[in-house]
Amino acid sequence: MTDHQPQDHFDLAIVGAGIIGLAHALAAVRIGKKVIVIDRDAVAKGASVRNFGFVTVSGQQSGQSWQRALRTRDIWADVAAEAGIRIAQSGSCIVARRPEAFQLLQAFAETDMGRACEIITPDCLAETMPAIRSNNIRGALWSPHELRVESRDAIPQLARWLAEVHGVSFLRSAEVRSVASPLIETTRGQVRADKAVICCGDDLQTLFPERLAAYDLVPCRLQMMRVMPGLPMPLLPASLMSDLSLVRQPGFASLADAKALSDRLKEEQARYLQHGIHLVAVQSVDGSLVVGDSHHYGGAPNPTAPSEIEGLILDELDAVLDLGQRSVTERWVGTYASASDRPMLVDRPSADIRIVIVTSGSGASTGFAIGEEMISEMFGDQCAA
Ligand SMILES: Cc1cc2nc3c(=O)[nH]c(=O)nc-3n(C[C@H](O)[C@H](O)[C@H](O)COP(=O)(O)OP(=O)(O)OC[C@H]3O[C@@H](n4cnc5c(N)ncnc54)[C@H](O)[C@@H]3O)c2cc1C
């Protein structure tokens, strides 16, 4: 990777080499800026490599978030082709186990956001997903918009491509201690840059902690696992979700028809709701599935992965897919900074510094669009030139 020389001067320094930092780097190099990305870790370890790599469109809040997701999906598709990042799945499939869920999917399909989506029957679904328990489901919504990348590979590859093809400098294993452009103090020396964007993920303590405290952000902790099916099965063509996702994802949950489903889930799956569990299952090229997740907010995030939660997620998986004698081969947790009142925050400590945090657990789905918006705001007319 390109390393920087102490005498270098950059147009833009970015703190954080997760997807949000890399998205800002891409937007800046696309308008010809000289960029450095600084991260305390030698290799990515944050939320961006712990997630599903699921670029979700259907399910985003209508309006700006949905538009950002569409734009981000398009950029992912372009970047994947140019940078040699494999698209592991295309589209998403939300199966309805209950009539109330099916009714909600049908209502969604009638909205502007649902226009390109398709309602499909269990039999039709079984043709494309033979492992689906078609007897257990009422129908499904097929959305064509989504993409999935294998984030553990995609994020390092995206960084390599930005360095090698676009000349982005990377300063790794360097914690940024202060940002007062043009001077950025790191544990590996000073960096000079006219402007800076801080994409610090869930680290709310190191840079501008007093400003970030004003936003009432709380850590959200998610439990994830990798499951190896016990039966040979063709790769899932799309990412898979079920009823519980419909009451978590704002694009569905904000529809009037969500109430009946929510009431029924409170009776039948109260424990799941208590742990913020919904099912997302995506499949890797070796046949294993990345399966999750749960959501616990606030407090000191528990680094362990309780088996009760894992059991609940697996029960929901088994209700939808027949994987035979499946086994859990990996377990991990991840965190992001969350806010109950906004999907993202932009703080402006000065005219040349921005702090950008996606607070809705959707950075892989909205990050590229956010990067474009921020770079346009910071460099203004230079973007149009
Ligand atoms: C388990 C899990 C599953 C998820 N699934 C999805 C999904 O499928 N789809 C989706 O869209 N979203 C998903 N999300 C949310 C998504 O992963 C995040 O919104 C996104 O990764 C946030 O990216 P980021 O770059 O802000 O943070 P991070 O990836 O955490 O990166 C922040 C980086 O900043 C660095 N850093 C911070 N402070 C400093 C400093 N002072 N000096 C130097 N370096 C610093 C850190 O080392 C880190 O590398 C999921 C999140 C989790 C936890």
The answer to whether residue 59 is domain-embedded is no
Report residue 302 as tokens.
């528990």
151 alpha carbon – ligand 1 mean position (Å): 11
Asked whether residue 132 falls in the same domain as residue 174, the answer is: no
Crossing angle for the helix pair 151-166 and 64-83, to the nearest 10 degrees = 70
Asked whether residue 374 falls in the same domain as residue 229, the answer is: no
The answer to whether residue 61 is domain-embedded is no
How many domains does the structure of the chain reveal? 2
Crossing angle for the helix pair 151-166 and 19-30, to the nearest 10 degrees = 30
SS3 211: helix
Asked whether residue 136 falls in the same domain as residue 168, the answer is: no
Asked whether residue 226 falls in the same domain as residue 307, the answer is: yes
Which domain range does residue 304 map to? 90-146+218-338
Q: How many CB atoms lie within 10 A of CB 290?
A: 26
Rounded CA separation 53/148 (Å):
5
Asked whether residue 333 falls in the same domain as residue 361, the answer is: no
pLDDT given at position 181: 79
Rounded CA separation 65/48 (Å):
19
> Rounded to 5 degrees, what are φ and ψ at 174?
-130, 115
Rounded CA separation 296/197 (Å):
28
The answer to whether residue 312 is domain-embedded is yes
Contact between residue 279 and residue 316 where contact means Cβ atoms under 8 Å apart: yes
17 alpha carbon – ligand 1 mean position (Å): 9
pLDDT given at position 301: 66
The answer to whether residue 349 is domain-embedded is yes
Rounded CA separation 163/9 (Å):
16
Report residue 207 as tokens.
């840079």
42 alpha carbon – ligand 1 mean position (Å): 15
Query: Which residues, including other chains, have CB under 8 Å from residue 214's CB and lie 6 or more apart?
Result: none
Asked whether residue 45 falls in the same domain as residue 96, the answer is: no
168 alpha carbon – ligand 1 mean position (Å): 20
202 alpha carbon – ligand 1 mean position (Å): 7
pLDDT given at position 385: 41
Q: What is the CATH number of the domain that holds 322?
A: 3.30.9.10
Q: Is the CB of 335 under 6 A from ligand 1?
A: yes
The answer to whether residue 65 is domain-embedded is no
Residues of the chain whose pLDDT is less than 70? 1-6, 301, 381-385
The answer to whether residue 67 is domain-embedded is no
Report the nearest atom of ligand 1 relative to the CA of 222: 1
The answer to whether residue 309 is domain-embedded is yes
112 alpha carbon – ligand 1 mean position (Å): 30
Asked whether residue 254 falls in the same domain as residue 375, the answer is: no
pLDDT given at position 384: 45
Q: What is the CATH number of the domain that holds 29?
A: 3.50.50.60
Asked whether residue 280 falls in the same domain as residue 301, the answer is: yes
Three-point CA angle 311, 312, 318, nearest 5°: 85
The pLDDT tens digits for 77-124 are 999 999 999 999 999 999 999 999 999 999 999 999 999 999 999 999
Report DSSP state, residue 141: E
Q: Is the CB of 24 under 6 A from ligand 1?
A: no
Nearest residue (by CA) to ligand 1, atom 26, is: 201
Which of 301, 318, 338 is the endpoint of a domain?
Answer: 338
Q: Is the CB of 363 under 6 A from ligand 1?
A: yes
pLDDT given at position 7: 75
The answer to whether residue 77 is domain-embedded is no
pLDDT given at position 231: 87
Contact between residue 338 and residue 215 where contact means Cβ atoms under 8 Å apart: no
Q: Candidates 14, 20, 152, 206: which one to mutate for ligand 1, based on the most atoms within 8 Å of Cβ?
A: 20
